[in-house]
């Protein structure tokens, strides 16, 4: 967060700051931050009539001040700098962002610059430590034509990136919004972004509206601020003479579209103000004549809480610079609009007319006592009261932006609160811990004041020991006694049941095949008169039984909470469900039975397993019922339906051939005549009664049966690997 929102941050975000601040003629705060444009230093000065420098940061000559700089909690300076390797150029171009500690150490040095993008103008430090940045987003003439532009020139479009620092020079873009995704046009119905009415689509930007700029830099975004309460972003665009609000609660994908987020409108504009002609409203006059520094007025401002403010460079009386403040038509996360008309209000609620003209850059800051800091980017910094009376001046600062901070914001303690454990059992002892950092002070002395919500706990110790029986939020206020500056932090300690009651849960079995049954078991101890509540993830199962039986169809985690009086204890167990193979189907070709599964087969005859019969195909020699069971990689099985085989139904080929087998029955030598055919490979196979080939030969005329046991056999004769002849043979001895 930044700009005027820094004041809100000081008072209501993350911690509550209390301090006794310097006051001269009703001035507010004590220190003013500025960085001379294109210079190598940033200064923190006091508010004396002749300001005294309290702190100076010095930078490398290759990292000169780019545009804006902010002091965030912990006394870290977040600044943009002019990157010496930029390919793109233009007013306000920067290319890099640094984080610099109080002692001058550069802890983050991030460059975002290429031939197609480059950060420029303002940045916005966010409460989570990330930084919002404005960047050019170069689009080719071909892209412009396809988007419906009447010009085929290159466009320097705009985008916003939220960067999370990941290393000394690296960062990850965790959120991104592109102006190019939210264009409209009524110039060419065959191109993208076509709408029949510009005025009826104010949520989009007319790509063919020239504004006061010229291609390629038609938009020139220059100011950005973040509202954590609304999770929204406001930006100002120089050449559109307008201020725009977009939804930050979206994902990057939603930000590229027109739905999603708190507003339900994706990345489309939620609100725009300053130049209704830019979205086709006729008979209106632009409020701004060059606008910079769009931001929210902090909620603690006594005059205009939660209003919007803009730096109207040449729109004041006589072309002077003015600060305009107006109240947008809030409607939840959206803004009220009558389609076809201009967004309200029709005019600003307050205007401060300055005595100078800053044709570019500059900013203002609305202070908690109703005063305002007004910065001439090409001259002085002023503090004025609510009536416009000048209270303080810093001449010749020549800083693009300047900001005022209280003594306690700069020098007060930065508090944090932790606990040895934040999840404990009722009655268990736990230690609260308070720490404070004061970068500007040497050996500060602190006092500590702990309280709780629900109320009931207080302590003046730094690290008190607690033994809570209910969950509570513990808040510590740490005070630097020499400065009378305080800050607060809190920690939540959750109490879950008692230290005696416990439970474990099991499943038998814990890994199953789809369709199997499982017995869940809860095993409590340390209580009596137990009651149970089971649930599941994925959801769908609930039971009050101690040991319910389940039939899960997918892998599921089961949770049980056991209650004993006012105490409770929880545990969980996961059941893995593996799939079963597809039901196999048996088909027949002659006396060859085939399974529809290529692997995992086991054949059965009359419900008895056939030893060794594990191939996809099985030669059936006996009449009866056959089945095949298929087993997959998870050891899950499927059994086929019964297939009844009758060998008498197989064509006895010898009745239509010259093949002769004799004698049959046989007791020693079995002779075969009529199978010799030099043009065909012929194979003879003798099967026993369980379908196993016990003898195989090619082009043979006899088989010695004397070595086999008496019984029923089958002879199969194949031509060209196709079985063409089958015959029963009886062996007796």
For 532, phi then psi, to 5°, come to -130, 150
pLDDT at 85: 92
Per residue, the 3-state secondary structure of 476-539, as one string, reads EEEEECCCCEEEEEEEEEEEEEECCCEEEEEEECCEEECCCCEEEEEEEECCCCCEEEEEEECC
Instruction: Return the pLDDT at 648.
Output: 59
Residue 49 has pLDDT above 50, yes or no: yes
Predicted confidence (pLDDT) at residue 695 exceeds the cutoff of 70: yes
Q: How many angstroms from the chain centroid is the CA of residue 609?
A: 55
* Residue 730 confidence (pLDDT): 81
Band the pLDDT of 497: cuts 50, 70, 90.
low
Q: Which two tokens stand for residue 290?
A: 């060059």
For residue 107, CA distances in Å to 100, 110, 482 come to: 6, 10, 30
What is residue 641's DSSP assignment?
Answer: P
The residue-averaged pLDDT of 492-508 equals 83
In this structure, the number of other CB atoms found within 10 A of the CB of residue 50 comes to: 7
Q: In degrees rounded to 5, what are phi and psi of residue 712? A: -95, 135
> Is it the case that residue 152 has pLDDT exceeding 60?
yes
Distance CA 685, CA 718 (A): 8
Instruction: Output the CA angle 426-427-429, nearest 5 degrees.
Output: 115
Q: Which residues of 375-394 are buried (b: 16+ CB within 10 A; e: fewer)?
A: bbbbbbbbbbbbeeeebbeb
User: Which tokens go with 142?
Assistant: 């071909």
β-strand 601-605 against 485-498: which pairing, if any?
A: unpaired
Would you call 446 exposed, middle or buried from its count of C-beta atoms within 10 A (0-12, 13-18, 19+)? middle
Q: Region 509-522: what's the mean pLDDT?
A: 94
pLDDT at residue 480 greater than cutoff 80:
yes
Q: What is the pLDDT of residue 4?
A: 43
Mean pLDDT of 201-225: 96
Q: Which long-range contacts (CB under 8 A, 24 or more apart) does 368-372 make?
A: 368/7, 368/11, 368/28, 368/298, 368/300, 368/301, 368/302, 369/26, 369/28, 369/302, 370/301, 370/302, 370/303, 371/26, 371/27, 371/28, 372/323
Q: Which candidate, 382, 368, 488, 335, places its Cα nearest to that of 14?
A: 488
Q: Which residue has the higher pLDDT, 306 or 427?
A: 306
Domains, in order of start, for the chain: 5-409 (2.120.10.30), 413-496 (2.60.40.10), 502-578 (2.60.40.10), 586-648 (no CATH), 652-731 (2.60.40.10)
Give the DSSP H or E segment for 410.
helix 407-411
68 — phi, psi (to 5°)? -125, 155
Does 15 score more than 60 pLDDT? no
Q: 249 near 242, Cβ under 8 Å?
A: no
- In this structure, are residues 577 and 600 in contact, taking their beta carbons and an 8 Å threshold? no
Whether residue 424 has pLDDT greater than 90: no
| pLDDT tens per residue, range 446-468 | 999 999 999 999 999 999 999 99
The pLDDT value given to residue 678: 52
pLDDT of amino acid 723: 54
Mean pLDDT of 644-666: 65
Q: How far apart are CA 493 and CA 432, in angstroms?
A: 9
Which stretch of 261-275, 352-366, 710-724 has the lowest confidence by average pLDDT? 710-724
Query: Which residues, including other chains, have CB under 8 Å from residue 135's CB and lie 6 or more apart?
Result: 112, 117, 118, 119, 120, 158, 159, 160, 161
3-state SS string for 571-625: EEEEEEEECCCCCCCEEEECCEEEECCCCCEEEEECCEECCCCCCCEEECCCCEE
According to DSSP, the β-strands at 205-206 and 183-184 are parallel
- Number of helices (H) and strands (E) in the chain: give both, helices first: 4, 59
Query: 403: helix, coil or strand?
Result: strand
Residue 448 has a pLDDT of 98
In this prediction, residue 688 carries a pLDDT of 82
Residue 650 pLDDT greater than 90, yes or no? no
The span from the CA of 652 to the CA of 663, in Å, is: 17
Percent of the chain with pLDDT over 90: 74
pLDDT (mean) for 695-709: 88
> How far is Cα 305 from Cα 252, in angstroms, rounded to an integer?
30
Q: Give Rg (Cα) of the chain.
A: 42
Q: Which pTM was predicted?
A: 0.67
What 8-state DSSP symbol labels residue 70?
E
- Give the confidence band of 9 by pLDDT, cuts at 50, 70, 90: very low
Give the mean pLDDT of the chain: 90
| pLDDT, position 5 | 44
Q: Give per-residue pLDDT as tens, 379-389.
A: 999 999 999 99
pLDDT at 407: 94
Whole-number percent of the chain with pLDDT over 70: 92
């Amino acid at each position: 967060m930044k700009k005027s929102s820094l004041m809100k941050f000081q008072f209501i975000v993350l911690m509550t700051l209390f301090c006794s601040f310097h006051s001269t003629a009703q001035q507010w705060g004590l220190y003013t931050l500025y960085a001379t444009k294109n210079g190598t230093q940033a200064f923190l000065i006091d508010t004396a009539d002749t300001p005294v420098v309290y702190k100076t940061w010095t930078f490398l000559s290759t990292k000169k001040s780019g545009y804006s700089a902010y002091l965030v909690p912990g006394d870290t300076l977040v600044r943009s700098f002019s990157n010496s390797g930029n390919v793109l150029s233009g007013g306000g171009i920067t290319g890099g962002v640094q984080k610099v500690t109080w002692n001058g150490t550069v802890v983050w040095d991030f460059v975002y610059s290429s031939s197609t993008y480059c950060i420029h103008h303002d940045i916005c430090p966010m409460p989570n430590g990330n930084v919002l940045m404005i960047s050019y987003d170069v689009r080719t003439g071909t892209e412009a034509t396809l988007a419906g532009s009447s010009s085929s020139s290159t466009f320097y479009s705009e985008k916003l990136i939220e960067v999370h620092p990941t290393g000394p020079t690296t960062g990850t873009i965790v959120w991104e919004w592109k102006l190019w995704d939210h264009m409209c046009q009524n110039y060419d119905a065959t191109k993208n972004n076509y709408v029949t009415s510009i005025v009826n689509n104010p949520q989009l930007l007319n790509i063919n509206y020239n504004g006061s700029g010229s291609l390629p830099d038609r938009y020139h975004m220059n100011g950005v601020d973040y509202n954590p309460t609304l999770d929204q972003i406001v930006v100002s665009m120089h050449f559109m003479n307008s201020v725009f609000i977009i939804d930050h609660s979206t994902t990057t994908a939603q930000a590229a579209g027109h739905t999603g987020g708190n507003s339900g409108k994706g990345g489309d504009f939620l609100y725009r103000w300053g130049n209704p002609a830019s979205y086709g409203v006729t008979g209106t006059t632009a409020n701004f004549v060059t606008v910079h520094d769009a931001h929210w007025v902090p909620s603690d401002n006594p005059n205009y809480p939660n209003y919007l403010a803009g730096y109207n460079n040449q729109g004041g009386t006589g072309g002077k610079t003015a600060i305009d403040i107006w109240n947008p038509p809030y409607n939840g996360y959206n803004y009220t609009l009558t389609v076809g008309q201009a967004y309200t209000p029709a005019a600003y609620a307050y205007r401060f007319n300055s005595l100078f003209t800053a044709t570019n850059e500059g900013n203002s800051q609305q202070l908690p006592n109703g005063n305002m800091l007004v910065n001439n980017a090409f001259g002085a910094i002023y503090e004025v009261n609510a009536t416009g009376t000048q209270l303080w001046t810093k001449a010749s600062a020549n800083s693009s932006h300047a900001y005022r901070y209280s003594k306690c914001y700069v020098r007060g303690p930065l508090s944090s609160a932790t606990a040895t454990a934040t999840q404990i059992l009722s009655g268990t002892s736990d230690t609260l811990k308070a720490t404070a950092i004061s970068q500007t002070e040497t050996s500060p002395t602190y006092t500590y004041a702990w309280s709780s919500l629900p109320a009931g706990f207080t302590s003046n110790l730094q690290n008190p020991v607690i033994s809570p029986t209910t969950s509570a939020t513990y808040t510590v206020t740490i005070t630097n006694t020499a400065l009378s500056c305080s800050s607060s932090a809190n920690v939540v300690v959750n109490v879950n049941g008692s230290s005696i009651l416990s439970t474990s849960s099991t499943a038998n079995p814990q890994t199953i095949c789809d369709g199997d049954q499982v017995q869940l078991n809860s095993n409590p101890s340390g209580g009596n008169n137990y009651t149970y509540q089971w649930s599941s993830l994925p959801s769908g199962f609930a039971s009050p039984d101690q040991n319910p039986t389940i039939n899960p169809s997918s892998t599921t985690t089961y949770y049980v909470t056991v209650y004993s009086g006012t105490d409770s204890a929880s545990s969980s167990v996961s059941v893995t469900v593996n799939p079963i193979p597809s039901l196999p189907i048996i088909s027949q070709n002659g006396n060859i039975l085939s399974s529809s599964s290529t692997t995992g087969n086991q054949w059965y005859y009359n419900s008895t397993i056939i030893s060794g019969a594990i191939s996809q195909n099985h030669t059936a020699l006996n009449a009866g019922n056959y089945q095949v069971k298929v087993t997959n990689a998870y050891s899950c099985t499927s059994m086929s339906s019964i297939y009844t085989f009758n060998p008498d139904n197989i064509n006895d080929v010898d009745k239509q051939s010259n093949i002769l087998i004799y004698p049959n029955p046989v007791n020693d030598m079995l002779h075969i005549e009529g199978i010799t055919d030099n043009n065909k490979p012929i194979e003879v196979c003798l099967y026993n009664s369980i379908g196993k080939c016990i003898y195989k030969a090619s082009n043979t005329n006899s088989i010695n049966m004397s070595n086999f046991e008496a019984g029923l056999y089958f002879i199969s004769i194949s031509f060209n690997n196709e079985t063409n002849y089958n015959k029963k043979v009886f062996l007796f001895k």
